[in-house]
Amino acid sequence: MSDDSDAGFGPFLLPEPLLRGLDKAGWQQPTPVQQQVIPLAMDERDLLVSAATGSGKTGAFLLPMMQRFVDRPAPNTATRGLVLVPTRELARQVHDHFMALGSYTRLTAAVIIGGENRGHQVADLRRNPDIVVATPGRLVEHIDTGEAELGDLEVMVLDEADRMLDLGFLDEVLAVINASSPRRQSLLFSATLHHRRLREITDPLLRDPEVIVVDPVREAHPDITHQVLLSDDPAHKRRQLLWLLQNEDYDKALVFTNTRERAVETGAFLIGQQVRAGVLHGELDQRERKRVMGLLQRGEITVLVATDVAARGLDLPGMQRVLNLDIPRSGDEYLHRTGRTGRAGEAGTAISLVAGPDWNRMESIQRYLGLTVETRTIAGLEARFQGPAPKAKKPRTRAAAGKPASKTRRARTGEGADAAPPKPKNRLRDRKNIGKRRKPSVKPDAPGKEAGFATPKRRRDEPGPAD
């Protein structure tokens, strides 16, 4: 084992099989989130952790869990550890990390996700794997049928908890919590601790948790260069995207769209232009997702066009470019997308194609994240759109606007005395009285009446003065 590896993870006093696994996986130095989380997790504390994507969270919860199970074997129990994640891709990635780190241990793990053969999953659960990595919906199905047993659970991890809430998994997560042993240790990881419904999970899950905040989500990744490319319309964006993919130097590129239809359309366009591209979106079945990811990992395709299903959790080594064909709907989603590049200390570039309708949203993202963004152009593909035209200042007076003074001002100041007299009002009561002689409202010789008061009207049945 290398000295660097011993120096990096040595202070955690991990068992020898895990140190060998770390060396095999090439993990030499712990990340900041691992440095803070691993010691507390080894002390069996409940933790509430906020850390940006790509910060090494998977190792932060896997290593202390595996250390506990290696040091204290319990062969006659059911599943001891559970990692709950929002997406199938993230479940596969967590399992891959487990296989790399635990290759010299006797620990076992099973993946329980939707879209795969249920019978095979039942067989895996009957073997009582040490660790289960699962998505909420499919795990609840196995709990309801009695095939998943969580009564012996020692450690429960919720990864990307805010994403699970966004996907509508609150009820399923609560069902899993209620089915698990109340004596468990619990760790919750979330990109943000300010999600409006997060407390509905933390209250039943965590007991007096230690709160750890590392690389808050609103802090842009220091190894990523952010660029903006102005565009005119969707057709112009496609031409610019094609130029970037055909002329820029990169190993792999990830193109984000906001909708499935746009992803399919863009993927077909790029393939038609001889770009080695694949498409990933939430409506693909699991077999097709695995096929596309396998093509990317083997280098048979170099460009992945995806919706936000790929914005979280996926670890895509060698991803040097992220291109936002559509601007994300929020600053947090922008960080999750761009966090697919610039990982593990490597430099990355995020390029956003901004047309007129995208301008305000991109400006909001920049203000929200405090981003420094470079504006670039492509020779021969410059945009006519150069940002919104500056708004003219509204004149503070009518005179400054070239309008005549108001009638009230003219009457008060005498302005415009030689101008035409104002047009008389065309009122209904005036038209009804045309040709009629106006009666005085006060009779000067009326006895007992003061000047200025009108004579009251007489009722029809009241006798007049002549009666």
| Residue 3 pLDDT level (bands cut at 50, 70, 90) | very low
Q: Exposure pattern of 403-441 as b/e (b: 16+ CB <10 Å)?
A: eeeeeeeeeeeeeeeeeeeeeeeeeeeeeeeeeeeeeee
- What pLDDT score was predicted for residue 10? 86
Fill in the DSSP letter of residue 420: P
Average pLDDT over residues 451-456: 50
- What pLDDT score was predicted for residue 467? 45
Assigned token pair, 66: 């595996």
- What pLDDT score was predicted for residue 6? 45
In terms of pLDDT, which residue wins out, 204 or 290?
Answer: 204
N residues, the chain: 467
| Residue 319 pLDDT level (bands cut at 50, 70, 90) | confident
The pLDDT tens digits of the residues spanning 18-42 come to 999 999 988 989 999 999 999 999 9
| Residue 1 pLDDT level (bands cut at 50, 70, 90) | very low
The residues spanned by each domain of the chain are 3-214, 224-376
Please choose, from the candidates 98, 160, 163, the residue with its C-alpha nearest in 3D space to the C-alpha of residue 129. 98
| Residue 200 pLDDT level (bands cut at 50, 70, 90) | very high
Asked if pLDDT for residue 355 goes beyond 90, the answer is: yes
The pLDDT tens digits of the residues spanning 261-286 come to 999 999 999 999 999 999 998 788 87
Assigned token pair, 123: 């067989």
- What pLDDT score was predicted for residue 149? 93
| Residue 187 contacts residue 299 (beta carbons within 8 Å) | no
CA–CA dist 355, 237 (Å, integer):
8
Write the single-letter amino acid at 344. A
The third-level CATH classification (topology) of the domain covering 3-214 is: Rossmann fold (3.40.50)
The pLDDT tens digits of the residues spanning 160-189 come to 898 898 888 999 999 999 999 999 999 999
Assigned token pair, 269: 């366009």
The pLDDT tens digits of the residues spanning 382-430 come to 999 998 877 666 666 666 666 666 666 665 666 555 555 666 667 776 6
Q: Exposure pattern of 185-208 as b/e (b: 16+ CB <10 Å)?
A: bbbbbbbbbebeebeebbeebbee
- What pLDDT score was predicted for residue 287? 83
| Residue 56 contacts residue 101 (beta carbons within 8 Å) | no
Please choose, from the candidates 141, 147, 129, 208, the residue with its C-alpha nearest in 3D space to the C-alpha of residue 175. 141
Beta bridge partners of 83: 133, 157
Please choose, from the candidates 321, 317, 290, the residue with its C-alpha nearest in 3D space to the C-alpha of residue 303. 321
- What is the residue-averaged pLDDT of the chain? 84
CA–CA dist 77, 79 (Å, integer):
7
Assigned architecture for domain 224-376: 3-Layer(aba) Sandwich (3.40)
Average pLDDT over residues 112-134: 94
Strands annotated E in 355-452: 374-376
224-376 matches 3-214 in CATH topology: yes
User: What is the SS3 assignment for 49?
Assistant: strand
